[in-house]
A = this chain, B = another copy of it.
Amino acid sequence: MRRFGLLTGGGDCPGLNAVIWSVVRGAARAGVEIVGVVDGFEGLVGGENGLNIRTLGSADVRNIFNQGGTVLGTTNRGNPFKYVTVRDGQSQIEDRGDEVVANIAQLGLEGLIAIGGDGSLAIAHELGERGARVIGVPKTIDNDLGSTDSTFGFYTAVEVAMEALDRLRTTGESHDRVMILEVMGRYAGWIALHAGLVGGAHVVLIPEIPYDINKVLGQVRQRWHEDRRNFTLIVVAEGAFPAGGKTSLVESAGAGTNARLGGAGHQLEVELREAFTHGWDRPMVPEVRTTVLGHIQRGGSPVAYDRLISLRFGAEAVRLALAGEWGKMVCLRGTQIESVPLVDGIRKPHLVETDSQLVRHARTVGISFGD
């Protein structure tokens, strides 16, 4: 019986289980067995831990297509090329890549379908360089891959942020407040830009366009002139930062902790409060409230659009594998699922271009980027 491997890598993203469901069902219909690798590439590193796999049939994936998370589990550890082991209290970094390639062969897998972000796809690509047959399924909540129109998970994140904005809007309006919503996006502002646009934000701050706090203040002031109210709805990507002397919190504090323990949203709140205290020339100092959406954007059931992309990515990945077209990554082009060389998936991230049509459209309807 033919066998393909399947694994998920990296952070959570709504639609992972839908890809798994689709791959398993598609393979089953073609008479191919799917060997699921547990906890990402970690499960393929042999040695003292042993392999961590489980065969997946249709019954194993019943009803998971609309569930968040991944039944295969995953972990951020487990880069086989920089594998960390602890021996005698000493941590060592080893290259276990060849073992992984050997294990794939030993398991009788024709090849491996790897669902993951740029990190996981880079590992998959490197495994390919060393002789493994791999197909990539791109996953990024941040939408920062240039080789596909979009991926699953992103529109769910935007929907969650949009629903938050719909709620914050009503309070901001009736209670006359500056409402800040911090969304994900350390390097790319796609979630902030899309959520801000569909959620009716007045100001959108993204890493690609360093902001000038005075321009943001200018918007609050203009809101007063237009409507006699302080209500201003601001979406800020966690990686947004002010232009000039100050640097991004992400740069200054190191990734991993900072964005959570006082990120761009709270920094902006502090800057605004300070500005309102000194030199605010309106009768009433605006109150500011900040919400940090955090992981709510990454979990839970995917919206229809993301389920569609996930299921089609899975079906197309199976088709490629059956046809022996390894070394490819599935991608979305318009309404079709196509494929590109896997290496295309790991190029430098696709960021928001400041002169793009999308940014222009946002400016057309009145959004300020604080620039």
Q: Give the interface of A toward B (CB within 8 A).
A: 11-12, 16, 21-22, 25-26, 29, 58, 63, 65-76, 149-150, 155, 158-160, 162-164, 166-176, 179, 194-195, 197-200, 226, 260-262, 266, 269-270, 287, 289-296, 298-301, 303-305, 307-308, 311-312, 314-316, 318-319, 333-337, 357-358, 360-361, 364-366
> What is the count of identical protomers in the complex?
4
Chain B residues with Cβ under 8 A from A358's Cβ?
312, 335
Overall SS of chain A's interface:
helix
Contact A290:B260 (CB < 8 A) given known A170-B300, A299-B171, A304-B198:
yes
Contact of A12 among B174, B199, B337 (CB under 8 A): B174
The residue of chain B having its C-beta at the shortest distance from the C-beta of A194 within the complex is: B308
Contact A197 B311 (CB under 8 A): yes
Partner of A169, one of B160, B299, B365: B299
Q: Is B168 touching A299 in the complex (CB atoms < 8 A)? A: yes
Which residue of chain B lies nearest to A11 when distances are taken between CB atoms in the complex?
B175
On chain B, the residues within 8 Å of A166 by CB distance are 66, 299-301
Give chain B nearest CB distance to A149 CB in angstroms. Answer: 5
Residue numbers in B under 8 Å from A296 (CB-CB): 164, 167-168, 291
Contact of A364 among B26, B66, B299, B308 (CB under 8 A): B26
Name the one of B169, B172, B334 contacting A333, with C-beta atoms under 8 angstroms. B334
Query: Which single residue of chain B is at the shortest CB-CB distance from A266?
Result: B261
Considering the chains assembled together, what is the distance between the CA atoms of A163 and B74 in angstroms? 23
| CA A71 to CA B170, docked complex, whole Å | 10
**A150 proximity list for chain B (CB < 8 A):** 335
Task: Let me know if B303 and A159 touch, CB within 8 A.
Answer: yes
Excluding A69-B171, A289-B294, 13 further A-B contacts by CB distance (< 8 Å) are: A12-B170, A26-B365, A29-B366, A68-B174, A74-B174, A149-B334, A155-B304, A198-B304, A260-B289, A292-B292, A311-B365, A312-B361, A315-B365
Q: Are B335 and A304 in contact (CB under 8 A)?
A: no
Determine the residue in chain B with the shortest Cβ distance to A18.
Answer: B198
Which residues of chain B are near A179, meaning CB under 8 Å?
A: 295
A68 touches B149 (CB 8 A): no
> CA of A304 to CA of B293 in the docked complex: distance in angstroms?
17
Report B-chain residues with C-beta under 8 Å of the C-beta of A16.
Answer: 174
